[in-house]
Amino acid sequence: MTLLEGSKVRDAILAELRPRVEAVASSGRPPGLAVVLVGGDPASAIYVRNKVKACRDLGIHSVHAAPPEATTTEELLAIVAGLSASEEIDGILVQMPLPKHIDERRVLLSVPPGKDVDCFHPLNVGNLVSNAAGPRACTPSGVMEMLRRYDIPVAGKRAVVVGRSDIVGKPMALMLLHANATVTICHSRTAGLEDECRRADILVAAIGRPAFIRGSFIKPGAVVIDVGINRIVDRAEAGRIFAADSERLARFDEKGSLVTGDVHPLEVAHAAAFTPVPGGVGPLTIAMLMANTVASAEKRCSA
């Protein structure tokens, strides 16, 4: 079984972006990304820190706006409007989830499509649906890069995507469709999920439930892409999933938590290839965010 290593693919993507960043910078100013984080959610704060660091490492100018939790929709719209008008900014990312009192849809609609590096704007979603040029959602496009760079054929294959969120499942299914896979989308109301999954040559799990996809869901020789990132803090749950992996349990006992995907990591030996969690799809999301920002800056340069 081949372990599909996200860090290798990420490094290759970033190495290819470097000269493109330099080319943009030499034509006036470097690409610029603004990241807006409302409130102090610790998980979001880590994501944002990693995004800002990735920009710094690559030579992308970054702006980090951090309005407080109590920020109103109108105030947030004003922040986004300021960034939209800024000559220095090519991409705007509003970190999700937003506090409940904020009208998320209005905020996402206010990001101009040309600076929408997350591909949340309906115009960019429409471009994805019709396979027209434009930014693509970062996590699924990272998965496509992973498949491409590991020479995993997609055309003519049967792909099953479990999960239909706007951020991962739906764009993932569309990208696989555009790459000529025969695609099935499954969700919480799918009947016979296990049978559907077992038909997959390429199985993508984007569910948000630790170790939910068991070995019996996986066809021998399938390529299994695990998008899930689940932090387990309950010792009993860790014990159930990792009963046969004393090393990982010891690590749980040391740290009090561990991260696992949506696929049972001890039941994938009969797959042809698998993305481990952590270390599989995870590292690619930020790399694709950088790629979308650079592409947006290049468009500005050639305009």
168: contact with ligand NDP by CB under 6 A:
yes
Among candidate residues 90, 118, 201, 262, the one labeled active-site is 118
187: contact with ligand NDP by CB under 6 A:
yes
95: contact with ligand NDP by CB under 6 A:
no
Please identify, using beta-carbon distances, which residue of 159 and 186 lies nearer to ligand NDP: 186
Q: Are strands 91-94 and 258-260 parallel, antiparallel or unpaired?
A: unpaired
Per rule CB under 6 A, count of chain residues that contact ligand NDP = 25
| Identified binder of ligand NDP from the candidate list 207, 232, 238, 289, rule CB under 6 A | 207
Candidates 181-189, 194-202, 241-249, 287-295; binding stretch for ligand NDP (CB under 6 A): 181-189
Please identify, using beta-carbon distances, which residue of 24 and 173 lies nearer to ligand NDP: 173
Please identify, using beta-carbon distances, which residue of 7 and 190 lies nearer to ligand NDP: 190
139: contact with ligand NDP by CB under 6 A:
yes
- The least CB distance from residue 124 to ligand NDP, in Å, is 17
- DSSP code at position 262: S
Rounded to whole angstroms, the Cα distance separating 34 from 36 reads 6
| Identified binder of ligand NDP from the candidate list 281, 287, 288, 294, rule CB under 6 A | 281
- The least CB distance from residue 244 to ligand NDP, in Å, is 23
Please identify, using beta-carbon distances, which residue of 34 and 186 lies nearer to ligand NDP: 186
164: contact with ligand NDP by CB under 6 A:
yes
**Strand-by-strand arrangement of the 2-3 sheet:** 2-3, 273-274, 223-226, 202-205, 158-162, 182-186
Burial-class residue 272 by CB neighbours within 10 Å (0-12, 13-18, 19+).
Answer: middle
Among candidate residues 95, 115, 201, 262, the one labeled active-site is 95
b/e code 76-109 from CB counts within 10 Å (16+ = b): bbebbeebbeeeebbbbbbbeebbeebebeebbb
* Vertex 38 angle, CA 36 and 42, to 5°: 105
Active site residue 51: yes
Please identify, using beta-carbon distances, which residue of 108 and 167 lies nearer to ligand NDP: 167
b/e code 127-151 from CB counts within 10 Å (16+ = b): bbeeeeebbbbbbbbbbbbbbeeee
| Identified binder of ligand NDP from the candidate list 48, 108, 147, 162, rule CB under 6 A | 162
Sign of CA dihedral 192, 213, 275, 163: positive
Q: In Å, what is the CA distance from 118 to each residue of 166, 178, 222?
A: 11, 19, 29
Q: Which residues contact 300 (CB under 8 A, 6 or more apart)?
A: 90
Rounded to whole angstroms, the Cα distance separating 239 from 249 reads 7
- The least CB distance from residue 93 to ligand NDP, in Å, is 13
Candidates 18-26, 36-44, 77-85, 183-191; binding stretch for ligand NDP (CB under 6 A): 183-191
Q: In Å, what is the CA distance from 77 to each residue of 81, 167, 177, 187?
A: 6, 21, 35, 33
Locate 303 and state its tokens: 């305009």
Residue nearest to ligand NDP (CB): 165
- DSSP code at position 98: P
163: contact with ligand NDP by CB under 6 A:
yes
Rounded to whole angstroms, the Cα distance separating 28 from 26 reads 5
Active site residue 118: yes
Binding mask of the shown chain, residues 227 to 266, with x at each position contacting ligand NDP by CB under 6 A: xxxx------------------------------------
Catalytic residue IDs: 51, 95, 118
| Residues of the shown chain interacting with ligand NDP in the complex, contacts defined by CB under 6 A | 139, 162-165, 167-169, 186-190, 193, 206-209, 227-230, 281-282, 285
